[in-house]
Amino acid sequence: MARGVKKSLQEKITQKEELIEALSTRVKKEREELNGLLEMQKNEELNELRLVVEKSGLEINDIIQMAQMQAAQ
């Protein structure tokens, strides 16, 4: 059976460099998407916390003081 033309070492190196560059670009894009999702999660959690504080009838400073006292124990 006939095989394809054997690639030169330089061609193999060039292909690997191109692959690494493409993968690096992909990783960067995925990391940006992940950071966006984490920011959305953080905002949702802050909204939930805000709603709980509002429903409690307490002021934010009261909640902060309680949390600080709890952390000190």
Q: What residue type is 60 in one-letter code?
A: I
Identity (one letter) of the amino acid at 30? Answer: E
Over residues 3-54, the pLDDT tens digits come to: 667 889 999 999 999 999 999 999 999 999 999 999 999 999 999 998 998 8
For the chain, the domains span 9-72
Predicted confidence at residue 46, as pLDDT, reads 94
Q: What letters, b where the CB count within 10 A reaches 16 and e where it falls short, cover 34-72? A: eeeeeeeeeeeeeeeeeeeeeeeeeeeeeeeeeeeeeee
* Residue corresponding to tokens 């894009």: 29
